[in-house]
Amino acid sequence: MANYYNDNKALKLHLQHPLMEKIVALKERDYADAEKFDYAPVDFADAMDNYDRVLEIVGELCGTTIADNAESVDHEGPTVADGRVTYASGALLLVAVGYVVTMLSVPVLNLGMLIWFAAYPVVMAPLSHVTYSRVFRKSLVTLPFILLIGVMNPLFDQRVAMTVCGVDVSAGWISFVSIIIRGLLSVQAALLLVYVCGFDGGCRAMGRLGLPSVMVTQLMMVSRYMRTLGEEAITMHRARQARGYGRKNYPVREWGPFIGQLLLRTVERGERVNRAMVARGFDGTFPQSFIRGNSSMSWETNSTVFLLIWGGVIFCLRYFDLSAIFFG
């Protein structure tokens, strides 16, 4: 029986480090818990024996259960529904894309019809095992960029579009609010897609639906570069704190050098990663088996039902004025 811990002798060498005795004593708080709990280690040898037993159990799980399912899990991306693991399909991607495209086609000044499109993220959030409030809060991160898109509309479009309580409201203000709603709902739809199948899972769904592999590869690379950018920013921030004697504010004059150094560091790290990938045989695109996933998986009935239900709902939201129907 395979055991990832026992079969990799290099892992056991870490437990034989000269400083391990001091590390274990600090971790176990000088074995103070031995007086309170009969299962707590009483000395260094007892603690190391406990660690070794736990690692053997974990190594057996890695060598059997996890190893046997690793390839299929990597291909599809797991999600949990009703207490069991299921795999992402292209149905959610099709619904999300159809939702965004249909929502963006709503006339700019028709806020009554646009508001109803909030039903999709509100309903899909609990189905994705996440609260809508969390999705909404995360979407607010993009609000400054959305505001920049339509901030000039009230100034350039001052046609009176409607009157509310005797106050004339210009078309510019209505289009400004419309842009905010569209932007937030689009981001929320993308967040729900990522919550369900992950970013890589969404990219693989695109590959299974026939999108060019070059496009899918670029999206995967962008995702990894953004993570690299964030890691380098955190590293530089910690270095600045260590050398700044507790200063937490960032003066405006430091923004330029910080951003410049951040970009240089991420580009250099990206080049190192690229050289490592080329040395391992990377030719510019991921293998089709990785992008498209397990081709033997068939389109399931529940995916069809999901697609048809949401397709009908989105069609009704777009071509029927529900505000006029329900509120006259």
pTM, rounded to two decimals: 0.59
Identify the weakest region by mean pLDDT among 2-11, 67-76, 167-176, 221-230.
Answer: 67-76
* 228-235: Cβ within 8 A, 24+ apart: 228/266, 228/269, 228/270, 228/273, 229/262, 229/266, 232/262, 232/265, 232/266, 232/269, 233/262
Percent of the chain with pLDDT over 70: 80
Domain termination site, one of 76, 107, 124: 76
What are 168's strand-pairing partners? Answer: 163
Tokens standing for residue 144 = 């400054």
Q: How many domains does the chain have?
A: 3
- 91 and 154 housed in the same domain: yes
- Are 264 and 232 in a shared domain? yes
Residue 298 has what pLDDT? 46
Domain that holds residue 238: 213-297
195 and 316 part of one domain: yes
Summary mean pLDDT of the chain:
77
Say if residue 89 is in the same domain as residue 150: yes
Same domain, 192 and 144: yes
CA atoms of 56 and 61, how far apart (whole Å): 9
Rounded distance between C-alpha atoms, residue 252 and residue 26, angstroms: 43
Residue 186 or residue 310, greater confidence: 186
DSSP designation for 34? G
Same domain, 115 and 70: no
Do 192 and 327 share a domain, yes or no?
A: yes
Contacts of 77 (CB under 8 A, 6+ apart): 87, 88, 197, 198, 200, 201, 204
Residue 41: inside a domain, yes or no? yes
Higher pLDDT, 44 or 164: 44
> What pLDDT was estimated at residue 217?
77
Quick one: 67 and 160 in the same domain? no
Are 315 and 290 contained in the same domain?
A: no
Mean pLDDT, range 155-159, rounded to an integer: 80
